[in-house]
Amino acid sequence: MYSSHVRPWYREEPCKSALNRVAGMPFAWSLNPYMGCVHRCTFCYVRAFERRADRPAGDDYGRTIRVKVNVVHVLCRELARPAWRRELVAIGAATDPYQPAEGHYRLTRGCLEALARARTPLNLITRGPLIVRDIDILRAAAARADVDVSFSIPTLDESVWRRTEPGTAPPRQRLRAVRALADAGIRTSVGMAPILPGISDRPEQLAAVVRAAREAGASHLWGNVVHLRPGTREHFFEHLARDWPEELERYRRLFAGGAYMARRDAEPILSQVARLRAKWGMAERRLASSPPARSSEPEQLALV
Ligand code: SF4
């Protein structure tokens, strides 16, 4: 029987490199102090990469977390290279950098300190309110280079949150963290993603998130519909069959053509998000641009 309360296993494993070159994204480097994520969202994009790598992508995903215990040391070495060009680094593209392990290991905090010292711009995405612990270092980093924090808050609907994000903090708690960051002068966005058609895309559901994000002090907001690649798709459908069986047919149709919804299906939802953003006077999140790059060590990129 599936239980969401099994204790994860933390595997302390040194890394050879901290920064991963990425291609085709608005940032040149990604940095993930942990691999695997105990939040185990049903829609998690990373499941698809785990399956491709022949690692658990279903209920066992997020049961084992790799802790890159030496990541701060390796990062400092990489940032000290004369060739380092201070290109944008994205933290948390493949795992939540403020999942519970960070309370103990403090690796994300150490990485932020290193990036601040190296005057390197950074973008961090999380669902973890633990980030407020590091407001001091985020402020220091923002004084030296561009810093953008993005909080993923796909919905405020408690029943949707409980069923799709078994391990994350309640959305209202995340909003309090947004407020704390914004009050500290840190540029903070809310990422309303993934939006689930038929489940979290009703106009009043979308409006509630945008309004709450604005009231919490977020200056930017972005939204996107769910993508379901093989690996993520099977797991998500399994949960859909359990929690919203009446939606199964709709999702089979929406994703009959592959991992992405057709433009005609996604567009009305995204237009609604754009209208709400304009209504509440919020900007669309824009990452500082980085020169195009090729990936020498492909790593998962979730941006969830
Ligand atoms: S979507 Fe983000 S927070 Fe959820 S399991 Fe995946 S990496 Fe973790």
At 294 the three-state DSSP class reads coil
Q: Measured from the CB, is residue 41 less than 6 Å from ligand 1?
A: yes
Is pLDDT above 60 for 146? yes
Tell me if 302 CB under 6 Å of ligand 1.
yes
Q: Which residue has the higher pLDDT, 302 or 296?
A: 302
Asked whether the predicted pLDDT for residue 295 surpasses 50, the reply is: no
pLDDT digits (tens, 9 = 90+) for 78-119: 999 999 999 999 999 999 999 999 999 999 999 999 999 999
Stretch 218-222: mean pLDDT, rounded?
94
Mutate to test the pocket of ligand 1, among 32, 34, 35, 37 (most ligand atoms within 8 A of CB): 37
* pLDDT bracket for residue 292 (50, 70, 90): very low
Among 18-27, 53-62, 264-273, whose mean pLDDT is lowest? 53-62
Nearest-CA residue for ligand 1 atom 2 is: 304
The closest residue, in CA terms, to atom 1 on ligand 1 is: 44
| Percent of the chain clearing pLDDT 90 (strictly above) | 84
Which domains are seen in the chain, by residue range?
9-279 (3.20.20.70)
CA of 159 to the centre of ligand 1 (A): 18
Q: Determine which residue's CA is closest to atom 6 belonging to ligand 1.
A: 44
pLDDT in tens, 18-55: 999 999 888 999 999 999 999 999 999 998 888 888 88
Nearest to 291 by CA among 36, 30, 63, 26: 26
With cut-offs at 50, 70 and 90, classify the pLDDT of residue 1.
very low
pLDDT bin (cut points 50, 70, 90) of residue 4 is low
Cα–Cα distance, 30 to 12 (Å, whole number) = 20
Pocket of ligand 1 contains residue 50 by CB under 6 Å: no
- pLDDT the model gives residue 200: 98
Query: Does residue 127 have its Cβ closer than 6 Å to ligand 1?
Result: yes
Average pLDDT over residues 146-154: 97
Q: pTM, whole model, 2 decimals?
A: 0.91
How many helices and strands (H and E) does the chain possess? Answer: 11, 10
Asked if 169 and 126 touch (Cβ cutoff 8 Å), the reply is no
Q: Return the HEC string of 173-215.
A: HHHHHHHHHHHCCCCEEEEEEEECCCCCCCHHHHHHHHHHHHH
Q: Give yes or no for residue 39 CB within 6 A of ligand 1.
A: yes
The CA 94 to ligand 1 mean position distance, Å, reads 8
Say yes or no: CB of residue 149 within 6 Å of ligand 1: no
